[in-house]
Amino acid sequence: MKHIVVRWQRGVPVYAVPLLTPFFLYLCCMGAYSVIFSIYREVTGLGRVTGMNDIYAWGIWKTFNTMVLTGLGSGGFAIGIAAWIFYRRELHAVMRTAVLTSLVAYWSGLIALGIDVGRPWNFYQVLMPWRYNGHSPLLEVCICMPVYATFPLFLENTPPLLERWFYTWPSFRPILVNRIFPIIRATYPYVIALAYALPLLHQSSLGALMLLGGARVHTLWQTPFLPLLYVWAAGFLGFSCVIGVLMVSCLAWKRPMDMSILTILARIMAWLIVAWDGFRFLEIVARGQTAAAFAFDRFSLLFWLETLLVAVPAVYILSHRYGLKPSRLFGADVMIAVGGMLYRVDPTTFAFVARPGAVYFPSGIEAIIAVGYVCLAIAAFIVAVKYLPILPAPMSSWRNLENYAHVVHGIEMREA
Amino acid sequence: MDLTRREALEALVAKCAPVATAALALPAADAEEIEAGPKAPVGMLYDATLCIGCKACVVACAEANDLPPDVTLDGLHQAPEDLNAFTKNIIKLYKPTEQSQDSFVKLQCMHCLDPACVAACPFHSLWKNQNDGVVAWEPSRCIGCRYCEIACPYHVPKFEWERINPKIVKCELCKPRLAKGYEPACTSVCPTHAVIFGPREDLLAAGKKRIAESPDKYFENRVYGEHDAGGTQVLYLSHVPFEEIGLPTLGNAPIPARLKWQKRVYKFFAIPLLLCGILTGVMRRNWKDHEKEMREEEERTGLRPQL
């Protein structure tokens, strides 16, 4: 098995596996807990439920669920830019997985953001542009992010669903073929352009948020280039998330792994990291903060932890052009994901000292809500890949699926 | 149709590019970016050497603003430890060691000339009156994001954590009293005139006069807030270092100036539009190739191509 060359050619649903597994039920339970606790938060106020205070006014719902999850969910645009704009055709095989991880991650983050804001009923003002403060990075985030998740990202995810309907809903097929598919073909380039422009804008604005924090953000993180570093980190974090999701899915559902595509993804990610880390070092030296990096206090150790977690695996990936072992790649990918997540979370938490002595630690309910919505995102992903042709597989799996679907569901997969 | 769309696109890019360049590289951009300040800023001058720490101003503030007593310390006495959701104005004692010189300090909103909280607030819920320069909070616009708390260098805006309809609590310079022609509650009750109210210019002149009359009495012989963080409307004189009594060293640039590049990038929405235009142009070209390849694949495999 190991020596057979696998090529991912086509999105194929995960078939012949039951949906209701113990793990899936566990995810649903965690999701249910977080929904119940969210309702509890809405009726009791933030102070009773969370560990936030006036000094640390932003808790994990913003620093983790929004900053980190949308970073992890950046695969849709990061890999998309490589596949569509720089025209790496081979990456089209993983695009459906990438946009699906983006969709679930973004919505999970946005729900947490909706629970985090204290006066959500005033949010209708997003429809009133004359009330916008165009200079606020947070305005950019809270307009751009829901717009992206609702329109371009959602539209990017419709082809697998329509494809399922094409096969399972014969009476709908003429409308699909004659009306809907031509519209998609005509509008797709514009949707894609928007789907890459918007994340570039709001992922950089997420970094710009902390510019106003000034000296509260430690000097190793606080730089005028924070927006650039943030969107860049979102780029490689998105790659690492999609690589991880693909590998875990292949292991969990015993699907063949295409190491050639994974290596391409890993190498692009590694180059992004090398450039990112290089720029970050140069920037720190240029600002004259080299001493802070070698102070070996809490912050400098955190900085080196981040740097090593992303740089060491990146160098490892780049030095193994051929024959990268799946286990090694997975280990490297997890390290990069952890390092990237740490970078995204640090300017608002570990490297954010608003007042000496003040502390923030998330409460139990706060943490359950944060984790619960991540579980819901994973559950949504599992449902989607089991019903829709999303995860990439060799052409032979599709042929097998044809027979399987015909036997089990009586669905004719061949062309009408 | 194809041609006109392409033309439209090219026209868009052609129109956007100069605007974008102009927005980024306008020579006069810096001068333009400094917002015109309020016409007749009013404020307060607090002299730490005159304050006797009687806290009459704290009580008067609570009364004038209808604030409930803050009894979190012992459940019995109105004894706020810091500015919080019940306290818009506070007197603190600074006394680091037994021997050292001590000082009281009064803390409340500084009403910056170019406030960080106003720059941060996404829907202008925190807004600066362009006449008297008071920074106030408008409940119908606030979404409760608490970005103001992250941005304010003085830790002034406070959030009502315990309520399901939380408000942002901060000194609004007794806005309703000013409208009626009274001065703020805190300055009106101060027995030693340690804190006085007036137009910012007059207060600044008064502060400088005091420094001139007694040289080396005041720290650094300067008025805190004249230039700090772009200038504030509440000014301070102190005999101990400003940093020690909770007035951070922030430099003379206004905090919102840190968003200079953010402002330039989003000016007239030119650069985002240009980005969209470029991406659309590249996509339209690549899309054609992609459709061709998909057709070839369909012929080769006999399966519907996947998008």
Contact: B259, A135; criterion CB under 8 Å:
yes
Taking CB atoms and an 8 Å cutoff, what residues of chain B touch A176?
none
Q: Which of A84, A133, A201, A225 should be substituted to probe chain B, the one whose Cβ sees the most B Cβ atoms within 10 Å?
A: A133
Q: What pLDDT is attached to residue B11?
A: 60
CB nearest to A57's CB, from B159, B163, B282: B159
The Cα B63–Cα B56 span in angstroms is 11
**Helix (H) and strand (E) counts in chain B:** 10, 9
Give A249-290 pLDDT, tens digit per residue: 999 999 999 999 999 999 999 999 999 999 999 999 999 999
* A-B Cβ pairs (cutoff 8 Å, strict): 191
What DSSP designation does A118 have? S
CB nearest to A189's CB, from B142, B151, B284: B284
Q: Is A127 left (phi over 0), alpha (psi -120 to 50) or beta?
A: alpha
Taking CB atoms and an 8 Å cutoff, what residues of chain A touch B124?
131-133
- Could you tell me if B256 lies within 8 Å of chain A, comparing CB atoms? yes
For tokens 């305005």, the residue is A139
* Exposed / middle / buried, residue A166 (Cβ in 10 Å: 0-12, 13-18, 19+): buried
- Give residue B49's pLDDT band: very low, low, confident or very high (50, 70, 90): very high
The Cα B212–Cα B206 span in angstroms is 10
Instruction: Give mean pLDDT, residues A137-161.
Output: 95
Which structure tokens are listed for A294?
A: 């070698």
Q: What pLDDT is attached to residue B5?
A: 52
Q: What pLDDT is attached to residue A399?
A: 86
The Cα A152–Cα A323 span in angstroms is 37
Query: Would you call A357 helix, strand, or coil by DSSP?
Result: coil
Nearest to B38 by CA among B176, B151, B136: B136
Contact: B123, A133; criterion CB under 8 Å:
yes
Chain A residue at shortest CA distance from B278:
A193
CA atoms within 13 A on the CB side of A321: 0
Q: What pLDDT is attached to residue B1?
A: 39
CB nearest to B120's CB, from A85, A138, A188: A138
Taking CB atoms and an 8 Å cutoff, what residues of chain B touch A412?
none
The Cα A48–Cα A141 span in angstroms is 27
Contact: B144, A120; criterion CB under 8 Å:
yes
- Give residue A170's pLDDT band: very low, low, confident or very high (50, 70, 90): confident
CA distance B298 to chain A (A): 11
Chain B residue at shortest CA distance from A96:
B307
Instruction: Give mean pLDDT, residues B4-16.
Output: 58
What DSSP designation does B45 have? E
The residue type of B292 is: K
CA distance B171 to chain A (A): 15
- For the cut 60, the answer to whether the pLDDT of residue B162 exceeds it is yes
- For the cut 60, the answer to whether the pLDDT of residue B240 exceeds it is yes
Which structure tokens are listed for A43?
A: 């009726």
Q: What pLDDT is attached to residue B4?
A: 53
Rounded to the nearest 10 degrees, how much is the dihedral formed by the CA atoms of B58, B59, B65, B66? 140
Chain A residue at shortest CA distance from B259:
A211
CB nearest to B119's CB, from A52, A89, A212: A212
- Could you tell me if B29 lies within 8 Å of chain A, comparing CB atoms? no
- Give residue B28's pLDDT band: very low, low, confident or very high (50, 70, 90): very low
The Cα A79–Cα A101 span in angstroms is 12
The Cα B119–Cα B126 span in angstroms is 9
Contacts of A258 (CB under 8 A, 6+ apart): A6, A7, A8, A93, A392, A394
Nearest to B135 by CA among B109, B159, B154, B166: B109
- For the cut 50, the answer to whether the pLDDT of residue B3 exceeds it is no
Question: What value, to the nearest 5°, has the Cα angle with vertex A333 and ends A329 and A339?
Answer: 150
Contact: B307, A194; criterion CB under 8 Å:
no
- Give residue A406's pLDDT band: very low, low, confident or very high (50, 70, 90): confident
Q: What pLDDT is attached to residue A365?
A: 96
Chain B residue at shortest CA distance from A44:
B164
Share of chain A above pLDDT 90, in %: 89
CB proximity under 8 Å: B 89-148 to A:
116, 118-125, 140-147
Taking CB atoms and an 8 Å cutoff, what residues of chain A touch B276?
193-194, 197
CB nearest to A214's CB, from B123, B125, B258: B258
Residues B191-215 as b/e (b if ≥16 CB within 10 A, e otherwise) read eeebbbbbebeebbebbbebbeeee
Instruction: Give mean pLDDT, residues B6-27.
Output: 58
Rounded to the nearest 10 degrees, how much is the dihedral formed by the CA atoms of A126, A127, A132, A136? 30
- For the cut 80, the answer to whether the pLDDT of residue A14 exceeds it is yes
Taking CB atoms and an 8 Å cutoff, what residues of chain A touch B12?
none
Nearest to A216 by CA among A351, A60, A357, A61: A351
Q: Which H or E run includes B196? A: strand B195-199
Taking CB atoms and an 8 Å cutoff, what residues of chain B touch A57?
146, 149-150, 159
Q: Which H or E run includes A33? A: helix A22-44
CB proximity under 8 Å: A 165-184 to B:
166, 184
Contact: B146, A58; criterion CB under 8 Å:
yes
Q: What pLDDT is attached to residue B55?
A: 95
- Give residue B15's pLDDT band: very low, low, confident or very high (50, 70, 90): low
CA distance B303 to chain A (A): 7
* Exposed / middle / buried, residue A212 (Cβ in 10 Å: 0-12, 13-18, 19+): buried
Query: Where are the strands (E) in A310-414, listed by range?
Result: 392-393
CB nearest to A54's CB, from B142, B159, B302: B159
Which structure tokens are listed for A256?
A: 């063949």
Q: Are strands B195-199 and B42-47 parallel, antiparallel or unpaired?
A: antiparallel
Q: Are strands B234-237 and A392-393 parallel, antiparallel or unpaired?
A: unpaired
Give A107-126 pLDDT, tens digit per residue: 999 999 999 999 999 999 99
Contacts 24+ apart (CB under 8 A), B286-289: B286/A84, B286/A85, B286/A87, B286/A189, B287/A188, B287/A189, B287/A192, B289/A87
Q: Mean pLDDT, chain B, as a whole number?
A: 89
> Which of A35-39, A77-81, A238-242, B72-76 is the least confident region?
B72-76
Q: Mean pLDDT, chain A, as a whole number?
A: 94
Q: What pLDDT is attached to residue A416?
A: 44
Angle between helices A181-208 and A226-252 (to 10 degrees): 130
Taking CB atoms and an 8 Å cutoff, what residues of chain A touch B275?
197, 200-201
Taking CB atoms and an 8 Å cutoff, what residues of chain A touch B88?
none
CA atoms within 13 A on the CB side of A378: 19
Q: What pLDDT is attached to residue B301?
A: 85
The more confidently predicted of residues A157 and A6 is A157
Contact: B259, A208; criterion CB under 8 Å:
yes
Share of chain B above pLDDT 70, in %: 89
Number of Cβ within a 10 Å radius of residue B217: 12
Give B60-118 pLDDT, tens digit per residue: 999 999 999 888 888 888 889 899 999 999 999 998 877 778 999 999 999 999 999 99
For chain B, the 3-state helix, strand and coil shares in percent, each to the nearest 5, are: 45, 15, 45
- For the cut 90, the answer to whether the pLDDT of residue A152 exceeds it is yes
Taking CB atoms and an 8 Å cutoff, what residues of chain B touch A52?
161
The residue type of B276 is: C
CB nearest to B121's CB, from A136, A205, A224: A136
Instruction: Give mean pLDDT, residues A207-226.
Output: 95
Q: What pLDDT is attached to residue B14?
A: 64
- Could you tell me if B251 lies within 8 Å of chain A, comparing CB atoms? no
CB nearest to A122's CB, from B143, B282, B289: B143
**CB-CB contact of B133 with B234 (8 Å):** no
Instruction: Give mean pLDDT, residues B245-269.
Output: 92
Chain B residue at shortest CA distance from A184:
B307
Q: Are strands B234-237 and B126-128 parallel, antiparallel or unpaired?
A: unpaired
Contact: A398, B303; criterion CB under 8 Å:
yes
Chain A residue at shortest CA distance from B159:
A54
Residues A95-119 as b/e (b if ≥16 CB within 10 A, e otherwise) read bbbbbbbbbbbbbbbbbbbebbbbb
- For the cut 50, the answer to whether the pLDDT of residue B31 exceeds it is no
Give A27-65 pLDDT, tens digit per residue: 999 999 999 999 999 999 999 999 999 999 999 999 999
- For the cut 50, the answer to whether the pLDDT of residue B27 exceeds it is no
Residues B245-261 as b/e (b if ≥16 CB within 10 A, e otherwise) read bbbeebeeebbbbbbeb
What are B47's strand-pairing partners? B237
Q: Are strands B90-94 and B103-107 parallel, antiparallel or unpaired?
A: antiparallel
The Cα A17–Cα A24 span in angstroms is 12
Instruction: Give mean pLDDT, residues B236-254.
Output: 94
Q: What pLDDT is attached to residue A232?
A: 97
CB nearest to B162's CB, from A47, A89, A189: A47
**CB-CB contact of A38 with A369 (8 Å):** yes
CA atoms within 13 A on the CB side of B63: 11
ipTM above 0.95, yes or no: no
- For the cut 80, the answer to whether the pLDDT of residue A78 exceeds it is yes
> Which of A80-89, A146-155, A355-364, B91-100 is the least confident region?
B91-100
